[in-house]
Each structure stands twice: as structure tokens, then as C-alpha cells.
Amino acid sequence: DAGVIQSPRHEVTEMGQEVTLRCKPISGHNSLFWYRQTMMRGLELLIYFNNNVPIDDSGMPEDRFSAKMPNASFSTLKIQPSEPRDSAVYFCASSLRAGAQPQHFGDGTRLSIL
Amino acid sequence: QKEVEQNSGPLSVPEGAIASLNCTYSDRGSQSFFWYRQYSGKSPELIMFIYSNGDKEDGRFTAQLNKASQYVSLLIRDSQPSDSATYLCAVLSGGGADGLTFGKGTHLIIQP
């Protein structure tokens, strides 16, 4: 079975540019999560969706960050404009449904903003 | 502010010994607890989850939960060099929140 698929795997861009990260959850999973990992802060939840609806975006650091889930098999996380402090590894995870279901992570996108 | 605390390590354990990893959490309403393993440059990989007080065993891994003490641990028996990784403790709070709160992880080194 295919796991969570993220693209691109690596992204290097200059500050001020728009960055779009993509995620395809595991088929049949109804909950999708975006996390960010840095050395200083560890893994932090940014936003999550249940049945394509954003439930909690309190972890989104600034208005420069936005996320969408237009259908059950696709989500995007967009940063516009990007800044060097956004450099991190961004992970997408999915689970069968909301609640105490284990979350399965994609391989992540390593983002570097110059 | 919900917090999950782990000793960052490194924790060095001889091959074949038992590795003991510990985690405490601040939200008394937390309901579900997960252990993830993360190799350098890779994504977190789920290895255990536990919902009820007591022990849960899966192969060489045992998760232990004590909700009264707000403490969860992971034991790895017969440690192998391939177990060398960072182990992340994650907590799902109650109240309908579904996102995990992660500790910063414990770096485990199994010495051959």
C-alpha cells in the first residue's frame, strides 16, 4: 500500500518567493495533518483537517502560511512570501479518522529559504 | 500550554541490553500516547501506541503508561545497533483535539 506522499522532497528558494508543498494522504484516511520540524522547536503541529475541513489552524505561525484540502486525496501548504526562518522540514501525516488513531507520516519536504 | 518532556540524551546502551526511554506530559486530560522512531534525515515511524494504564508489549518493545504520574515509557529489549535513532514521544490530548504534541526526542545510541 502506498503511504503518505509528499512533494517536492527538497525545495530551495529565495526569500520572498511563494512556496507550495503538496501532500497525498493514504487512501481511505479521513484526517490529514501538517507538521513542521526544526532543531530548536522539534515537531510542531501547524494545521489539521477532518474530512477535508480545516479543524485547528492555531499552529500556523503567521498569515503568510495557508493550507487547503480541496478533496480527500490532496492537500497543499503554501507560504507567501517565504522568509529564511521558514526553513525546516515539513511533514504531512494522515490517520483513518479523528481521535486516537495513529498518524502515519510522509517522507517530508526539506525547505531552505535563502 | 501542553508540554511533553523527554531527556534529549544521547542515551548510550550496550548491544543486547535493555534501553529505557522516558516521557512526561503536562495535560492531565491526555488520552492517547505514541512512540515514534526517527532515523537521521528520515520521517517519524510509528512503533507503539498505548491508551490504558499498564504495559503493552509488541515484540522487543514494551510501552508503559501511568496516567496518575503523567508518565509514559518505552523499553527496548535485546537492543540492536539498528535501534540507534531518535525516539519521539507524542501525546493526544482530550477535548476533541486531534493533533499530536511531540516531545523533542531522545537520541539513543546502541553500542556494538
Q: A68-111 pLDDT, tens per residue?
A: 999 999 999 999 999 999 999 999 999 998 777 889 999 999 99
Distance CA A18, CA A76 (A): 12
B42 touches chain A (CB under 8 A): yes
How high is the pLDDT of residue B90? 95
Q: B37 contacts in A (CB within 8 Å)?
A: none
Share of chain B above pLDDT 90, in %: 84
Q: B90 contacts in A (CB within 8 Å)?
A: 43
How high is the pLDDT of residue B31? 86
Q: B25-35 pLDDT, tens per residue?
A: 999 888 899 99
Question: Which of B46, B100, B103 minimises the CB distance to A45?
Answer: B100
How high is the pLDDT of residue A79? 97
Distance CA B11, CA B33 (A): 21
- The nearest CA of chain A is from the CA of B32 a distance in Å of 6
Rounded to an integer, the average pLDDT of A22-49 is 95
- C-beta separation of B30 from B23 below 8 A: no
- C-beta separation of A82 from A17 below 8 A: yes
Rounded to an integer, the average pLDDT of B14-42 is 95
Rounded to an integer, the average pLDDT of A35-61 is 93
Q: A45-54 pLDDT, tens per residue?
A: 999 999 999 9
Bridge partners of A66? A78
- C-beta separation of B109 from B12 below 8 A: yes
Q: B75-97 pLDDT, tens per residue?
A: 999 999 999 999 999 998 766 66
| Range scoring the smallest mean pLDDT among A5-9, A59-63, A79-83, A90-94 | A59-63
How high is the pLDDT of residue A1? 64
